[in-house]
């Protein structure tokens, strides 16, 4: 299949809408990451998303809408959901709600719940309006790769697998949406994102964060969100996270880089903008400003993709405090590192 990459504009958006209505796949920008869309009510179209991504069939999809009226046929909306929609839609918040019958089980991976979101990106909204359909869309990467934050990332993963990619430039947030379940006794964040726990609590009161957000699942533990079962966001190289006091971390990165390089590994560090100069000899990748987790979120996936392009096999990274948007960053970075973490002072006293 020939994959067209077209700048998002009225004619290409109209073409995308026709392709979606005809059961085909289209990749499009959202404010979080690029999505790979299909008509959510067409089983075959939905199945072709799983085929194109190589996604396990038991990992459910998010249904995207542009008008709340579309939810009538999709899910049961409760009072908390309405208040959150008032506060955060359109925007990077996905709600898990009880599913209605019209939604195929292919979308929900046989769950009785469905994930719904109204994106704010103007191209996503134009496309949703033009086709008038609820669109099931996971991130437009091959399964196991970092989510795409540019049209080129999508092309790298999906060339020859889908007919059209709409190019709307780099994504604003850079991490996937916050996923909040409203189906249990207490609302629960299954995946942290740009809409933080405290922002949600300001609207609906107590919100929990799923325990497995900052650790691997325990053996036999059931994933609240099936996506958490899978190895995600992993570069091909081995990532290790370095924690500790700022000066110790910089010195530990330098020593670890030198040691791994001496052993013959292609080695680099992921560090804050403020430390790039101090680590100039360590093949630094700038992950953003130290005091700005949103900046790190914005750059993280592109950096992880660069590491693969450069065939790095050993990577050491700084970390951000797991608070606010930092929780979303550490959820992704932790998984990229398989939660392998070292204290800087142990590196310094051990050498």
Residue 21 CA, chain-centre distance (Å), reads: 26
Does position 139 interact with Mg ion (CB under 5 A)? The reply is yes
Q: Considering beta carbons, is residue 128 or 253 the nearer one to ligand AMP? A: 128
Does position 225 interact with Mg ion (CB under 5 A)? The reply is no
Does position 227 interact with ligand AMP (CB under 6 A)? The reply is yes
- Answer yes or no: are the C-beta atoms of 97 and 76 closer than 8 Å: yes
How many chain residues are in contact with Mg ion, going by CB under 5 A?
2
Does position 96 interact with ligand AMP (CB under 6 A)? The reply is yes
Measured CA to CA, the distance from residue 203 to residue 206 in angstroms comes to: 9
**Sites for ligand AMP among residues 306-345 (CB under 6 A):** none
Q: Which does 329 bind (CB under 5 to 8 A by kind): Mg ion, ligand AMP, none?
A: none
Q: Which does 96 bind (CB under 5 to 8 A by kind): ligand AMP, Mg ion, none?
A: ligand AMP
Q: Which does 303 bind (CB under 5 to 8 A by kind): Mg ion, ligand AMP, none?
A: none
Q: Which does 115 bind (CB under 5 to 8 A by kind): ligand AMP, Mg ion, none?
A: ligand AMP
Minimum CB–partner distance for residue 108 and ligand AMP (Å)? 5
Binding part of the chain for ligand AMP, among 74-82, 151-159, 221-229, 340-348 by CB under 6 A, reads 221-229
Q: Which does 59 bind (CB under 5 to 8 A by kind): Mg ion, ligand AMP, none?
A: ligand AMP
Measured CA to CA, the distance from residue 332 to residue 13 in angstroms comes to: 31
Neighbours of 231 (CB within 10 A): 11
Facing residues of 213 across strands? none
- Answer yes or no: are the C-beta atoms of 149 and 108 closer than 8 Å: no
Binding part of the chain for ligand AMP, among 57-65, 117-125, 271-279, 340-348 by CB under 6 A, reads 57-65
Residue with the shortest CB distance to ligand AMP: 227
Which of 59, 150, 197, 303 touches ligand AMP by CB under 6 A? 59
Does position 108 interact with Mg ion (CB under 5 A)? The reply is no
Q: Considering beta carbons, is residue 139 or 294 the nearer one to ligand AMP? A: 139
Pairing of strands 188-191, 178-181: antiparallel
What mask, x for binding ligand AMP by CB under 6 A, covers residues 178 to 217? Answer: -x----------xx--------------------------
What mask, x for binding ligand AMP by CB under 6 A, covers residues 252 to 291? Answer: ----------------------------------------
Does position 173 interact with ligand AMP (CB under 6 A)? The reply is no
Minimum CB–partner distance for residue 229 and ligand AMP (Å)? 8
Q: Which does 60 bind (CB under 5 to 8 A by kind): ligand AMP, Mg ion, none?
A: ligand AMP
Copy the structure tokens of residue 50.
Answer: 């799983």
Which 3-state string (H, E, C) describes the chain? CCCEEEECCHHHHHHHHHHHHCCCCEEECCCCCCEEEEECCCHHHHHHHHHHHCCCCCCCCEEECCCHHHHHHCECCCHHHHHHHHHHCCCCEEEEEEECCCCCHHHHCCCCEEEEECCCCHHHHHHHHHHCCCEECCECCCCCCCCCCCHHHHHHHHCCCCCEEEECCCCCCCCCCEEEECCCCCCEEEECCCCCHHHHHHHHCCCEECHHHHCCCCCCCCCCCHHHHCCCCCCCCEEEEEECCHHHHHHHHHHHHHHHHHCCCCEEEEECHHHCCCCHHHCEEECCCCCCHHHHHHHHHHHHHHHHHCCCCEEEECCCCCCCHHHHHHHHHHHHCCCCEEEHHHHHHCC
Which of 30, 225, 294, 317 touches ligand AMP by CB under 6 A? 225
Copy the structure tokens of residue 194.
Answer: 């740009």
Which of 21, 111, 170, 199 touches ligand AMP by CB under 6 A? 111
Interface residue list for ligand AMP (CB under 6 A): 59-60, 62, 96, 108, 111, 113-115, 138-139, 176, 179, 190-191, 225-227
Interface residue list for Mg ion (CB under 5 A): 138-139
């Amino acid at each position: 299949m020939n994959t067209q990459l077209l700048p998002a504009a009225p004619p290409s958006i109209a073409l995308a809408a026709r392709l979606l209505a005809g059961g085909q796949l289209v990749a499009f920008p959202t404010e979080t990451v690029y999505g790979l869309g299909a008509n959510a009510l067409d089983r075959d179209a939905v199945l072709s998303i799983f085929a194109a991504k190589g996604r396990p069939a038991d990992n459910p999809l998010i249904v995207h809408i542009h008008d709340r009226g579309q939810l009538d046929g999709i899910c049961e909306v409760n009072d908390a959901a309405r208040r959150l929609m008032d506060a955060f839609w359109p925007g990077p918040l996905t709600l898990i709600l009880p599913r209605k019958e019209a939604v195929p089980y292919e979308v929900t991976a046989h769950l009785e719940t469905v994930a719904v979101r109204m994106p704010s990106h103007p191209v996503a909204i134009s496309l949703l309006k033009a086709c008038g359909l609820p669109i099931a869309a996971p991130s437009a990467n091959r399964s196991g790769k970092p989510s795409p934050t540019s049209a080129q990332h999508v092309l790298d993963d999906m060339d020859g697998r889908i007919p059209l990619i709409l190019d709307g430039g780099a994504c604003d947030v850079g991490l996937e949406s916050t996923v909040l379940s409203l189906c249990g006794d207490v609302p629960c964040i299954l995946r942290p994102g740009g809409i933080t726990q405290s922002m949600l609590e300001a609207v609906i009161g107590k919100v929990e964060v799923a325990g497995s957000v900052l650790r691997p699942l325990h053996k036999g533990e059931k994933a609240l969100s099936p996506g958490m079962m899978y190895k995600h966001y992993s570069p091909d190289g081995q990532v290790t996270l370095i924690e500790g006091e700022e000066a110790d971390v910089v010195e530990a990165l330098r020593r670890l880089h030198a040691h791994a390089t001496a052993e013959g590994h292609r080695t680099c560090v992921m560090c804050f903008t403020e430390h790039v100069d101090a680590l100039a000899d360590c093949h630094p990748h700038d992950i953003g400003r130290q005091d700005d987790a949103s900046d790190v979120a914005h750059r993280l996936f592109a950096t992880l993709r660069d590491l693969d392009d450069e065939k790095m096999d050993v990577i050491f990274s700084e970390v951000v405090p797991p608070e606010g948007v930092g929780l979303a960053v550490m959820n992704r970075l932790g998984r990229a590192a398989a939660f392998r973490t070292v204290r800087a002072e142990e590196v310094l006293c051990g050498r």
